[in-house]
Amino acid sequence: MTTPFPPDAVDAIKRHMNDDHADDALLIVRALGGQAEATAARTTGVDAEGIDFAATVGGREVPVRVPWGMTLTERAQVRREVVRLYREACAVLGVPARGAH
């Protein structure tokens, strides 16, 4: 696991995802993380290759990793990749995606 992101950037990304996009994380975990029965998800990490979640499945936490579509080299790419994963998850689940993200 490699990361071009310093720890404070990773912490900020996790905080933003958990505070503002917990529902999006759950959709991603259900559709792309192989945990269709998940009832909650929180972001636990990001690196150049993917994003990590702790999903609640059957009352217990399960680690889930979803890879990016490419190796990331800049923090700005994280947002684009999360939006892409969110939209892909919505398409898989048949849920309408929000317009501007």
Give the H/E segment covering residue 69: none
Q: So what's the pLDDT on residue 3?
A: 73
pTM here is 0.93
Residue 101: other Cβ atoms inside 10 A = 13
Q: Where are the domains of the chain?
A: 7-91
Assign a CATH topology to domain 7-91.
Split barrel-like (3.20.180)
**Long-range interactions of 15-23: CB distance < 8 A, separation 24+:** 17/42, 17/43, 17/82, 18/42, 18/43, 21/82, 21/86
Band of residue 2 on the pLDDT scale cut at 50, 70, 90: low
Q: How many CA atoms lie within 13 A of 13 on its CB side?
A: 25
Q: What average pLDDT does the segment 50-69 reach?
A: 97
| Number of helices and strands in the chain (H, E) | 3, 3
